[in-house]
Amino acid sequence: MGTWRTVVLFIGMLTSVACLSCPSCKEQHCSQPPPCVGDIVKDPCGCCDVCAKVEGERCGGPWKISGECSSGLFCDKDDDDFNAVGVCKPKKLLCGSNSHFSMCGGMCRPTCDNPSPICPAVCFPGCACDEGFVWSGDTCIPLKICPKKCPAGSHWSMCGSDCPPSCKEPIRACNKMCVPSCVCDVWDHVWHYDRCIPLKQCPPEGCKYNGRTYKEGDSWGEEDQPGKNCFCRQGRPQCLFVDCFPPTSRHVRTKDGTWDCQKLETGQCPQGYIKPQSSKGMFFCYRFDTKRLSYGDAESSCRADGGRLVTIRDYRTQLWVAIRTVLQIRQSTWIGLDDRKTDRRLVWSDLVPYSRKDYKRWDRGVLNTKNNDCAYMSRPRKYRWRLGWCKAKRPYICEYDPFAVSAIRAYQDF
């Protein structure tokens, strides 16, 4: 009995050795393989082409005598047993969720700290994260949920709020209450821009400036200081100056109410202004505006152009202005004469005091009373001058001097 066992073992050893004993390769002795479902590989002796094994077929054995798996597959067998025979299975089963097998996936892997690494031109097969995922430990997680460095007073949480409390909205209705985000360390703290502060320390919403309240992000130009632009940032007003250099440029108001510089050409009327056709030498430019404003708002509108409300000191100016008013406005109209700040002493808009010796076109019975401080041309009274309530809304006439540098400076210091 023992003799027979020895004979069988010897025959098996001879068979195994015969599998290693490959004759010299002569391709003319190789038969053409049938159409292959998978790849074409060499036989165990490395001579003739044979079909690689596909999923579910046997593989392995000593010297891969049972076949080699096609690309994308691996031979699932006992790697410690040289003679073990296995079955071809997809390589992706080797990798975890959100990952796949790649010939270059075994090194230089993207992580939360380095999502886009610069890799050497060397490949090593292994598992790689799917697109949008990075390695965290031995698993792949979505890049968007990677822990982030949070500001002081807060920490990273995988179950934060999609609409965290803030100074503007300390209590908010939110549909998503579990999203990866930074959350405040203390429950009664809220977000104020990029940091957590106690709710009671939240600044008032918007900015207060010169008695007016502005919303966060608003910008405006200071009416009484041409060139001074302000804006509301983080609950505080901040101001900057735009410098213009007369007589080559002047301050103008933009459509959003801020100041900018406009290049000037001597003797040129700004857009929207006209000059008398018979003008020779020095002249004023005029703008006849039909928009009804209070005296103060009309004054600001003229200043925004670098001008002022119209001054009338001679008959020719009165006649030309009155005719244009009849043609373009046809209403009682503000002119640049008032005593709002001079206690019943009238002053023209160019800061020159009014004198009874000057040219005048007053209507009869005009009284300089406390509530009537601003002058206008009255249409019912054939455009003679009267004094009225400054908050009444009327059209107005602006005057612009295209030659006087001093006028621009006076406007800046007004």
pLDDT in tens, 324-350: 999 999 999 999 999 988 878 899 998
As a whole-number percent, the residues of the chain with pLDDT over 90 amount to: 23
pLDDT at 256: 84
pLDDT at 176: 67
- Range in 4-8, 244-248, 263-267, 398-402 the model is least confident about: 4-8
Q: Are 172 and 165 in contact (CB under 8 A)?
A: yes
Q: For 165-215, write each residue's pLDDT tens digit.
A: 888 788 777 776 688 888 899 888 998 888 899 988 887 677 888 888 888
Q: For 90-120, write each residue's pLDDT tens digit.
A: 876 567 778 887 767 767 888 887 888 888 7
pLDDT at 265: 65
Q: For 128-137, write each residue's pLDDT tens digit.
A: 888 889 888 7
E-assigned strand segments in 91-218: 99-102, 126-129, 133-136, 139-142, 154-160, 179-184, 189-192, 195-198, 207-209, 212-214
pLDDT at 366: 87
100: three-class secondary structure by DSSP: strand
Span 231-247, average pLDDT: 79
Average pLDDT, the chain: 82
- 370 has a pLDDT exceeding 50: yes
Q: For 268-321, write each residue's pLDDT tens digit.
A: 788 889 988 776 677 889 999 999 999 999 999 998 877 899 999 999 999 999
- 16 has a pLDDT exceeding 70: no
**pLDDT tier at 262 (50, 70, 90 boundaries)?**
confident
> How crowded is residue 207: how many other Cβ atoms within 10 Å of its Cβ?
22
CA–CA distance, 203 with 232 (Å, rounded to integer): 13
CA–CA distance, 298 with 333 (Å, rounded to integer): 10
pLDDT at 405: 44
Tokens matching residue 19: 């599998």
- 77 has a pLDDT exceeding 90: no
**pLDDT tier at 247 (50, 70, 90 boundaries)?**
low
Q: Are 204 and 236 in contact (CB under 8 A)?
A: no
- 44 has a pLDDT exceeding 50: yes
- 144 has a pLDDT exceeding 90: no
The torsion defined by the Cα of 359, 363, 368 and 371, in degrees rounded to 10, comes to -130
20: three-class secondary structure by DSSP: helix
